[in-house]
Chain A
Amino acid sequence: MSATRRITYREAVREALREALLRDPRVFLMGEDVGRYGGSYACSSGLLAEFGEERIRDTPLSESGFVGAGIGAAIGGMRPIVEVMTVNFSLLALDQIVNNAATVRHMSGGQIAVPVVIRMATGAGRQLAAQHSHSLECWYAHVPGIRAVAPATVADARGMLWTALQEPNPVVIFEHATLYNDEGEVPGEGELAVDIDRAAVRRAGDDLSLITYGGSLKKALAAADALAGERIGCEVIDLRTLRPLDEETILASVRRTHRALIVDEGWRSGSLAGEIAARIAEEAFFDLDAPVRRVCSAEVPIPYPRHLEEAATPQVDGIVAAARGLVRR
């Protein structure tokens, strides 16, 4: 097997798309500006030239229409990968995703499978203000019938897509927009496949469990580094799959560390962090040595100026401070 390589998250997504198109003739990519433009985040550049317009389909700006068409094509025997530019825009397609993709299997008594993969960028951090910066993963993670995943590492960006395409259910993949330029290791050929079921322990530690996903992972890891200097050991858990949650990994860690800090760029109210906190309280209450804490986004639409955007979203300092509080220092 070939050795590991360092590539960017963007390159990882592109390689994964290319691999899927090469391996499965039923796969096609569609979305706004995925073809000529090369993808709004340049994840599909070069693919139009290689695979042609039938399989790399530029769509009009009609999210409900083309996402719904992806769902229909999946029902019709294809394996569509639909790219929605950002999670904010996906709200225009929410009807199709929630009312069709998530329900038809059940409504039809199990007759219909919807093997569609819907990718979208999510999150703040680039000063794009309140219509391009939100983290609405939680809304999708709320819906039975959908699998929601958030690759936080380059290896997961490379490996999750193929696994998602093997899934007979709709999978929504959230790519945090601040990750595309990040470099990371990917395994050699033949070792690229990853599961989309389990959370990953990205760093081991004994004093508290730092539970996070997506764009917040690197902040959590940076916080864990800082805390290690204070002899506070953080176990950093990357959820990877937001629905269904890997409760087992979360609870096993919390039962060992007795303290949980959840970092979630979504707003605190009704957040995924809230769901995780509730499950910890339900299942590991008697193992807790401190109240569960959350570092989430402030209850405000993401503002444009840098200093306010930073203040509104989880940052390393805030994570470190919350962790210190948890271990009572």
Chain B
Amino acid sequence: MPALGADMEAGTLVEWLKRPGERIARGDAVAVVETQKGAIEIESFQPGVLREIRVETGARVPVGEVLALIDGEAGAAAAAPVHATAEAPARAIAAAPPPRPGAAAEPEPEPVVLSGQRRVPISPLARRLAEERGIDVATLQPGADGTIGLAEVEAARAALAPAGAPAARAAGERGLDLAAMRRAIAAAMARSHREIPHYFVSSTLDLAPLLAWLERTNATRAPPGRLLYLVPLLKAVARAMASAPELNGHYEADVFTPSAAVHMGVAIAMRGGGLIAPAIHDVDRLDLDTLMAKLDDLVLRVRGGRLRSSELADPTVTVSNLGEHTADAILPVIYPPQVAIVGCGQIVPRPWVSDGGLVVRPTMTITVGGDHRVSDGRSAAKFLARVEALLKTPEAL
């Protein structure tokens, strides 16, 4: 059972497209699997003859289980199992299918197999950078000498930039192929899930002082100049980072490098599904109006597919805000190489104890997802306490 997405643990086999004894060409679909994201055809990367079906239709099969055996074409006695696991170094399912935009498939970095079954030589650096940048090496085209090196990864990275649009944009303003970006996020999330030992720490905060201040402030402004509650919230989170520097920075090659600046990734929903978290730079130093303007600009550009690649590359910490009319709390997943993410639930009125009496207050549950290789729950707790303190005096933000 191949892993068809980073979060896929099992699939239900719904149909066999080949019967035992049938010839299978490389790339033939052999079965259909129902996943959380819909029915997906499984193709074979091993040509030969289907010898034996091991799993009957209707069965739920964990990723990595053998589904069937295929006799290799060279008449080899050994049968190649049709399966794949996330860690299998030379798996049968290798050259992943081209991902469908906006669809469920979330291919991970895979060892590259050249047609003709020879492994394409890929340099260690190219493999590492591709993984770090969320580029699926299976999609890389080898150079003229048949190998994949740094040059091919950089070409692929550059190719991610134009969103299928004419190349009329300035270099710094190159738009991004959102589908490709989504694939990159998928790979990054898979990596995060695989590599980062997460911990989560939550606090529920009373937002009454913040909202009261916001109401007063916005009352004096024309509608285009009004602030969203997200703006002071982001500022508070950014400033609180100073109290827990181990949450702000990058972890690469077994080394954590804290960042003096707070470049905050802001998760924004994309058209066609998915989220993306480009960075607003130096959030802790921006005044609220500037931050509001930047946030507006960012949302517009995300929706228009016109992000700058640097905005994706360099957040030092991310905030994922669920927004209004959504859900109460979120356990967010860190975007590597960052080491923390702050998840904000919707604002919801809750019973609240104030001065020994029970009152109703607008509250928000904020959850810090931290990288246990770098920090621990105490850091997150300290950070949350600081956020709470800052939000009590929003006028000082």
Q: Are A285 and B124 in contact (CB under 8 A)?
A: yes
C-alpha spacing A285/B124, complex, angstroms: 6
Q: Which residues of A contact B143 (CB under 8 A)?
A: 328
User: What distance in Å separates the Cβ of A329 from its nearest Cβ neighbour in chain B?
Assistant: 9
C-alpha spacing A274/B20, complex, angstroms: 52
C-alpha spacing A113/B144, complex, angstroms: 58
Tell me the nearest residue of chain A to B153, going by C-beta: A289
- Indicate if B150 sits at the interface (CB-CB under 8 A): yes
Which residues of A274-325 are within 8 A (CB) of B? 285-290
Tell me the nearest residue of chain B to A328, going by C-beta: B145
- Indicate if B125 sits at the interface (CB-CB under 8 A): yes
Q: Which residues of A contact B144 (CB under 8 A)?
A: 328
Q: Are B145 and A289 in contact (CB under 8 A)?
A: no
Q: Are B125 and A288 in contact (CB under 8 A)?
A: yes
C-beta contact mask, B200-239 vs A, less than 8 Å → 1, else 0? Answer: 0000000000000000000000000000000000000000
C-alpha spacing A289/B154, complex, angstroms: 12
User: What distance in Å separates the Cβ of A284 from its nearest Cβ neighbour in chain B?
Assistant: 9
Which residues of A230-275 are within 8 A (CB) of B? 258
Size category, B interface: 10 to 19
C-alpha spacing A226/B150, complex, angstroms: 23
C-alpha spacing A286/B149, complex, angstroms: 12
- Indicate if B126 sits at the interface (CB-CB under 8 A): yes
C-alpha spacing A288/B126, complex, angstroms: 8
Q: Are B151 and A288 in contact (CB under 8 A)?
A: no
Tell me the nearest residue of chain A to B128, going by C-beta: A286
C-beta contact mask, B141-161 vs A, less than 8 Å → 1, else 0? Answer: 001110101110000000000
With beta carbons under 8 angstroms apart, the residue of B125, B128, B149, B253 that contacts A328 is B149
Q: Which residues of B contact A258 (CB under 8 A)?
A: 123, 125, 150
User: What distance in Å separates the Cβ of A182 from its nearest Cβ neighbour in chain B?
Assistant: 37
C-alpha spacing A287/B253, complex, angstroms: 11
User: What distance in Å separates the Cβ of A278 from its nearest Cβ neighbour in chain B?
Assistant: 15
C-alpha spacing A239/B380, complex, angstroms: 48
Q: Are B124 and A288 in contact (CB under 8 A)?
A: yes
Which residues of B123-181 are within 8 A (CB) of A? 123-128, 143-145, 147, 149-151
C-alpha spacing A289/B124, complex, angstroms: 6
Q: Which residues of A contact B151 (CB under 8 A)?
A: 328
Q: Which residues of A contact B124 (CB under 8 A)?
A: 285-289
C-alpha spacing A240/B372, complex, angstroms: 43
Q: Which residues of B contact A287 (CB under 8 A)?
A: 124-125, 128
C-alpha spacing A287/B149, complex, angstroms: 11
Q: Which residues of B are in contact with A by a Cβ distance under 8 Å? A: 123-128, 143-145, 147, 149-151, 253
Q: List 11 A-B residue pairs with CB atoms under 8 Å apart, sorted by A's residue number.
A: A286-B124, A286-B125, A286-B127, A286-B253, A288-B125, A289-B123, A290-B123, A290-B149, A328-B143, A328-B147, A328-B149
Q: Which residues of A are in contact with B by a Cβ distance under 8 Å? A: 258, 285-290, 328
Further pairs besides A258-B123, A286-B127, A328-B149: 8, Cβ < 8 Å: A258-B125, A285-B124, A288-B124, A289-B125, A289-B126, A290-B123, A328-B143, A328-B144
Q: Lowest 3 A-B CB distances belong to which pairs?
A: A289-B125, A289-B123, A289-B150
